[in-house]
Structure 1
Amino acid sequence: MKFAVVVFPGSNCDRDMYHAAKDALGEEAELVWYQSANLSDYDAILIPGGFSYGDYLRSGAIASTSQIVADLKRQAEKGVPILGVCNGFQILLEAGLLPGAMLRNKNLKFICHFEELKVANRDTMFTTAFQQGEAISLPVAHGEGNYYCDDTTLKQLKDNNQIVFTYTNNPNGSINDIAGIMNEQGNVLGMMPHPERAVEELLGGNDGLKIFKSIVNNWREKYVTSA
């Protein structure tokens, strides 16, 4: 399986993503500069965290207008797995690939520590390696991770089982304790916690590795075992 790790000016978690896919998983991975607009050669796409374009205007706002995001939307329509983490999640929201928006953390401070999450939906291409309701620990590192949506959107997220991860002890004020959501099609996941920073015990835990393993296992089941 071949992963693309999209790199924007200001990305700072791209090497972590690359390490997770290349070294921890043992799969192919390439760093793709944002001015490259062809993502069709990749089986999955990773949008890393950081401060794309210095977080000017709003986090992820400028990056969401780049040419590679137009190609990202085309790949999303084709069903290609796309994972956006932290700033990557913010970019997916700004691009309209996921509903809702990000606000400043409720305490108006940057937070950086491990948080306990609950797997709210394990029946996705990103979470089949988990158990339903499993408690996991992943690091967070953000100043604008307070996920918000209106009541209609929240009801849709609940009705369609699009809420994938929730916080046990909500650190940022996110509505309904939301830590990660996916699109209705089920192939685009955005989450604020960093699974790529938790793929080895040396890093403080390896719960994040299960997300990457889920992507690979479901891709192989669909495209390899059925071939």
Structure 2
Amino acid sequence: MDDVSSYLSINRTLFRICCIFWIVSLAEGNVITKVVGSHVTLACNTSNITVQQLTWKLNGVTLISIKTEDMALYTSEQAVDLKINISLLGTQLYALVIDGVQRAHAGSYSCDITALEGVWIHKLELIITEKPENGKRSEHVHVIAVATTVLCVCCLIFIFTFIILRRVSNCRAEDNSEPASVMEQTGDVYENCLEMNVGRHRSCQSAQTKPRAHQR
């Protein structure tokens, strides 16, 4: 019973971890699919924080950085070449704006925020396609691939855990069965010894009670 309860508790824990991993992967894997030539706005959530500096990066390279204290704006050559701008409007404050998106705009974007409350990094993945149908299919394929990967990992963890607990249970069963077999062997030996002693005792009694021949 202890093995079964421990097995069930471990499986519940693994199931919760898999669910959390799945939710986090879908939440943080923000994928945006756009068609070539369309308008793109990459938002960065800055609500309820006091932003001191905000930096947009593409594949780890700084594109645009702004300091809110004096509104000092830095724009890299790559941002100028790709025609990437930052919005300072209230509804889209600090959002990255791209007009006429091209395949060169595809990649991993990150919004690095330094605020009085701490530091945040918001990541986005921009995928550029030729047709809307391909964009929808690629987004669906990405979600399916993530879900399949998570399920496979959960299944492998479940199988390995089951095998380990089964082996531990078998080892404990073998350890418990060994003393019983030893006791059985000891009992058999003891019974054999008793039978031998009883046989000898009977043979001795029969020899003593055997009538002796009369001497002439």
**TM over 0.5: same fold?**
no
Structure 1 or 2, whichever has the larger Rg, is 2
Q: TM-score scaled to structure 1, two decimals?
A: 0.20
Bigger fraction of residues in helix:
2
